[in-house]
Amino acid sequence: SSGINAEWPLRPGMEVVLKYQLQDCSAPFPSIKFEGKADSDDIKISGLKYGCQLIVEYGVRLNLIPPNTETAAVEQLCQDVARALSAQQHGALKGVKFDWFVSVVYLLFGGQIARARSFLITFSPTLTSGYLWSLRLLNSTHVKQEIASSGLTVIYYNAC
């Protein structure tokens, strides 16, 4: 099962992305798994409140989400994704950056968390995710330790 519901109304251009991803056979990374909230406090994400506020304001201005949208939904999505990605990272999380990719996915799916999660789960194991979703492979167990510990994304590490 691909995790993508074909009946969803998609934003212009998303059909192409989803069609490409569903045909992509290579899955070099395991899919992220959203599990229940951990016993510990939420993961500390630098700039979470400010980033979510900007995303919601931007989404409202572009009529991607309703005007009365609160930041709680996108904050929770970012927390859940950070928790899911932490299971695939070296060592304990010290400082997590705000995930702009996840926030943009939230906007592309009109603020619908279930759709955004479904896409992220489907997209996460693909090779493309390593390049477009910069925090996906940051400090990841799926790349060499020297690259993971450098703090650079795979793209910058390979280019320099």
pLDDT given for residue 6 in this prediction: 45
- What is the pTM assigned to this prediction? 0.71
Return the closest-CA partner of residue 123 out of 147, 105, 149. 105
Residue 123's CB: how many other CB atoms inside 10 A?
Answer: 23
The pLDDT tens digits for 32-63 are 777 766 544 567 777 889 999 999 999 999 99
d(CA 52, CA 79): 11
pLDDT given for residue 134 in this prediction: 75
Query: What's the mean pLDDT in 125-139?
Result: 76
The pLDDT tens digits for 63-110 are 999 999 999 999 999 888 888 887 777 665 556 788 899 999 999 999
Burial class of residue 66 in the structure, from the number of CB atoms within 10 Å of its CB (0-12 exposed, 13-18 middle, 19+ buried): exposed
